[in-house]
Every structure is written in structure tokens, then in C-alpha cells.
Amino acid sequence: MFPGGGAVPLRDRIITIRSGVIVDIMPANGLRAENKSPPVRHFDIIAPGFIDLQINGAGGVMFNDTPDTATLARMVAAARSGGTCHMLPTFITAPGTAYTAALDAVAAWDGPEIPGVHLEGPFLSSAKPGIHPREAIRRMNDGDVAILVAFAKSFAGRLLLTLAPEEVDPAHLETLHAAGIILFAGHSQATGSEIAKAAERGLCGVTHLFNACSQITARDPGVAGMALTDCRLVAGIIADGHHVDPVNLALAARMMKGRLCLVSDTMPTFGSAMQHFSIGERQVRLVDGRLQAGDGTLGGAHLGLDEAVRMMVSQAGISLEAALDMASGVPADILGLQDRYGRIEVGRPASLTCLDESLATQAVLVDGEMSGGEGGDTGA
């Protein structure tokens, strides 16, 4: 059992769960033969439940295409196969205020699997569109601010907004931050100075570090350099072997201890037999594990968080306890949910990701509800 927070594992532990809450953690030899509790489910590894801050689709559906609770249910089910317990469905750049449909869908969701929503765009830089439809990228206006602030004030969950800070009025950043919206820089050509100024106004993170952002040059750190060195900033990173070189994964993990989390950036192909889909007018195909448009532009990822953990351990050379924390504890901290998730402790909700020795998902529990088997005590 990995208790979380980067702590070393505790061997042969029994976790007892009642009414969705962890009520006891004890050595396995403390379970007496005459104990009449439900049968123990055995797993090689039990970790705090994975939290994905960036998931665009899964199970054959794309959140942008049909932003409703039926789509969310399919995404939740498919994401569990990669170890995800909790997620922020991510709505990417679309025309006008189409993003309001995503806000409404998440607000209508009833369950702990979705503690918030992530809007990635449309307030991005047209110089760094990535796979986002360039024609729908635009500047934020007063109407957008009013919509986002009203939603944040009425919504019990979290709203994460990815934007290009150099394209947003500084006063708007301050207003959004004051409303409790989590502000990340992404698809941004910002200079280091622009990122520093935005951080003073509430910017606190970077979306998919190293991808679709300004890089380190001799005379400017860019978005990437600021994320690595400014302790006010956290970041998500896509560890799929396609988006970021393993050396850069290792560099980020070394420089951003406690500030770097794993995200999937997963698309509809994950958890389904789908081999291609469209973003706007562009078709994206799955080719040897890589999602790409016809010109080679990356179009999200085909990735479970368990695979991202394996990549960080095998290719970036970080410890398993640190990699697991990047999938659970750090995103919990980013969302301000560190008192509920990211640790395995008595009194907390039983949100657990259970893995085998190869770090493949065997089952997940979300507030005590198990996917992948029957309930009861769990042991590792």
C-alpha cells in the first residue's frame, strides 16, 4: 500500500471500508481467521485514486461533440480502465460561447467521479494552436468573464481554465482568479516576463508542459522555463512517449517536485475500438499509439494514467512513490481537495487505484464503489 504524498510503501496492509470511507488500516497478520467481514480482495499495489485534470474523451465519445451527462458517463467508465478515479472533463476550443454547454453538463453530473471541469480555450494564442481549430481561437471579452464568474460562484466543484495570458486583459485575470477559477497557461507564446506578471494576477499553472508553449531560449525562459523555475506555478505533463522526450520528463520531475502532475489528454480512442475521429475539420488517426492529424500534428493522446506512471518510472527514472503522487496527490493539491483525496488514511473517502506488479490497473474504487470486482476489504 502506498499511503501517498511520496511516502514509501507499507507492506501487507488490510484496508477496511464502510459506507465509502476508510475505517481501518492494519497489518495483514492482524486479520483474524474468525473475522466475519467481507472477503479480502488482494492487489499487488494499492495507491491513492488517480485524478486526471485533462481528459477530452474516452470510450468512443468526445466531450466537445456531445457535452452531456451520457457522454460523461462513458468517459468515466472508460477512464477507469487506466486507473482514473476522478477527472476534469476537458472542453477544447470551439466557436463563440459553445463552452457553456460543457459547464452545464458538468453542473448536472451527480457523483464524486467529476469534481470539476476544464476549459482549454478558446482564449489561446493563434501562434500556438496545436490541434485546436485556429478559426475559433479568440480574445476573452467582458461577456465571457461574466459567464465564467457566475458559473464559478454557483458551482460546487472546480473550474480550471487554460488560456494564453498574453492574450488576456490583466484585469480579467484578476477577476477570474478572485472568483476561484484555477488559471493555467497553455497554447501560449508568452515571454517569461509575461508569465511572471500573470502569476502576480492569479495564474498558477501550465497545461501540458513543453507542448504548445514558448520554450527556453538563451535570453528568455518562455512558458516552459518559468514552469520549471517559478515555485508559484504547477504543471501537467503528458507522459506517453510521444509528447515529451524522456529526458525532459526527468528534468521536469527533478525541478518540479510537488508541482508536477500527470495528465492523460486522452481522446475518444481510449477504451474503445475507435481508430480515428475529428476535431473541427481535421481528422485525427491513431498510428502506432500516437494520435495525429494528416500533417503529423499531435491530436491529444491515447493514454491511461497507469501507463503514464509506468513511463515516469521506466523512462524518466523516478521512484514509483513519486510517480503515483504525480497521479494523485499533486492534482488533489491543485484542486484544493487534498483533505479528501491523494492520501490513504482512516477517515478519508475510499478512492483507490489498484495495480498489478506491471503497474496495470486491476480495479478502482471511487468513494468505496469498486469497478473491477466486488467490494469488501482490500489488501496489499
User: Distance (Å, rounded) from C-alpha 158 to C-alpha 175?
Assistant: 16
Which residue type sits at 64? Answer: N
Contact 352, 51 (CB under 8 A): no
Task: State the helix-helix crossing angle for 320-327 and 305-314, rounded to 10 degrees.
Answer: 150
CA separation (Å) from 292 to 182, 221, 285, 313? 29, 28, 6, 25
User: Distance (Å, rounded) from C-alpha 262 to C-alpha 239?
Assistant: 7
Residue 290 half-sphere exposure toward CB, CA atoms < 13 A: 13
User: Distance (Å, rounded) from C-alpha 66 to C-alpha 80?
Assistant: 20
In terms of phi and psi (left: phi > 0; alpha: psi -120 to 50; beta: otherwise), the region of 280 is left
Q: Kindly report the number of other CB atoms within 10 A of residue 79's CB atom.
A: 28
**Burial code of 311-344, b = ≥16 C-beta within 10 A, e = fewer?**
bbbebbebebbbbbbbbbbbbbbbbebbebbbbb
Q: Which helix (H) or strand (E) holds 313?
A: helix 305-314
Q: Give catalytic residues, as residue numbers.
A: 265
Instruction: Look up cell 523512462; give the residue.
Output: 315
Q: Is 146 helix (H, G, I), strand (E, B) or coil?
A: helix
Residues 6 or more apart whose CB falls under 8 angstroms from that of 36 comprise none
Q: Is 329 helix (H, G, I), strand (E, B) or coil?
A: helix
Instruction: Look up cell 481522446; give the residue.
Output: 267
**Which phi and psi (to 5°) does residue 326 adopt?**
-65, -25
